[in-house]
Structure 1
């Protein structure tokens, strides 16, 4: 009976130790699980906090952008109000400009016929005038007529050219000039030197100096002059060309002025 009791106690001790080991192992596993859960919970909490911080930053950024947009909108409103004023003023200026254009157009319609009549009158005057520099003056009239036909030239510029042509013609009356040209003498075309004394006299002399002549405005013909005028015309040509000084009077055939009727 004793042997059985001892074995029983030993067996109980072994069983107790085994059960105690099992309990310890179970407790360790539970603790690990708790620790792991805590770590994961903390990690999740950190991630959540990071997301919250990120959302807060994004919200702050959006708020700043929102305030910036509000300022831009207010600035645009101010700009639009100013722009509306400018547009209103520009519309008024355009209306005034259109009125001015209409008036200019009306003036152009009136001034164009006037300019054409002025060109016609100038051409007629040249053809009836003393025939000095006739080719040059006719070319000037031709240029004026071409200018009148151009649509890309303003009426003011056309009118300026017409007035300039009149001024040039007026200046010819104060001209003392020598130039070269040709003339028909007894059926032969000869090279001559012309001496223009304003509109008072137009003289010529052949290159050899043998023949001199003058334009008769009354008969509108060239007339051969006596040899007594030869040296005076030669000297006049030299003076006009700045080859001699005008230190003495030159006896030239100047026609007497016509009596007023």
Structure 2
């Protein structure tokens, strides 16, 4: 730090020049004056140093104030942004609460519809060709059990019913074969069942001795002509994948539906 030539230093210098020609007594007084001037100079330097320190402290405080001001502004901006988020969440919560309030109403309207769908499916299976009845009726019993189970959500109940409808639709678009034991003339005979979609349901015994189709009108099995036995056997091979696909012939009757 540069030393400033204060008025005291100037006075001391002037006294020194003037004191060169003074007597001894005067020189003593001059020495005393010089000492006083030096003391004043040291005090002035101390005061200046304190002023410099205060100035540095002021600069530090200004810098700290600016930093705190920036942080305060950032915090205020963040707080305003969070207020918007909270308001958005509040509106969403109100919407969810409103939707939850309508759940009971929706359930009350949907449950009877689902029960009717199961009843319609049961009636359809009873009126359909009698294939895989044990399996299909067991599926309907499972649907009723799901409807009575409070642990099964209504959405899951609906999904299960739709899946059951899809399975029934698939029966009408595919051919299937499976072994089954049936009663023929009082004897249990193992035969190969074959389903032509929903066109016809037939069976043939492995030895070709027995072959019949299900008659919708009478609700009973009717023996088929011998010429159809080989056609049925060939269709079974196609369904099993043991021969190449080809045109299949089924001993079917015309389906008539009376006008209501």
Taking structure 1 as the reference length, what is the TM-score of the superposition?
0.66
Deviation at 1:122, TM superposition (A): 0.5
Match among 245, 252, 255 for residue 254 of structure 1? 252
2: CA distance between counterparts of 1:152 and 1:175? 35
- The 3 A distance-change label for structure 1 pair 208 and 56 is farther
Greater shift in the superposed pair: 230-239 or 100-109? 100-109
1:260 and 1:107, CA in 2 relative to 1: closer, same or farther beyond 3 A? Answer: same
Q: Alpha carbons of 1:76 and 1:150: their partners in 2 closer, same or farther (altered >3 Å)?
A: farther
SS at match of 2:129: coil
Provide, for residues 42-83 of structure 1, a one-character-per-residue CA deviation record: whole Å limited to 9, x for no partner.
Answer: 9xxx9xx89x96x99888766655543333233222222221
Tell whether 2:111 aligns with 1:128.
Answer: no
Say if 1:57 and 1:206 are closer, same or farther in 2 by CA, change over 3 A: farther
SS for the counterpart of 1:93 is helix
User: What TM-score, normalized by structure 2, do the two folds share?
Assistant: 0.66
Are residues 62 and 147 of structure 1, via their aligned partners in 2, closer, same or farther at CA, if it must alter by over 3 Å?
farther
Matches within 5 A, 1:106-255: 106-149=105-148, 151=150, 154-242=153-241, 243-247=243-247, 250=249, 252-255=250-253
For residues 86-105 of structure 1, the aligned pairs below 5 Å read 86-105=85-104
- Which residue does the alignment assign to 2:25? none
Give the whole-Å Cα distance in 1 for the aligned partners of 2:208 and 2:57: 108
Q: Could you tell me how far 1:235 is from its partner in structure 2?
A: 1.9
Tell me how many residue pairs correspond in the alignment: 222
2:9 is matched with: none
Please name the residue that 1:20 is paired with: none
**5+ unaligned residues in a row in structure 2: which ranges?**
1-41
Gaps of 5+ in 1: 1-41
**Using the alignment, how far apart are the partners of 1:170 and 1:201 within structure 2?**
15
Deviation at 1:188, TM superposition (A): 3.3
> Which digits, 9 at most, give the CA deviation of each residue in 1:186-233, with x for residues without a partner?
333332211111222110112333211222223323334454432222
Of stretches 199-208 and 222-231 in structure 1, the one that deviates more from structure 2 is: 222-231
Name the CA distance, whole Å, in 1 between partners of 2:234 and 2:117: 38
Q: Shift of residue 150 of structure 1? A: 5.0
Q: Partner of 1:253: helix, strand, or coil?
A: coil
Q: Is 1:84 aligned with 2:83? A: yes
Give CA deviations for 1:135-182 in whole Å, capped at 9, x if unaligned.
332343244334434556553443243233223323322332222222
> Matched residues in 2 for 1:185 and 1:61: separation?
109
Q: Secondary structure at the match of 2:102?
A: helix
State the superposition RMSD in angstroms. 3.8
CA deviations on 1:106-154 (whole Å, 9 max, x unpaired) are 2222112211110122122212311123233234324433443455655
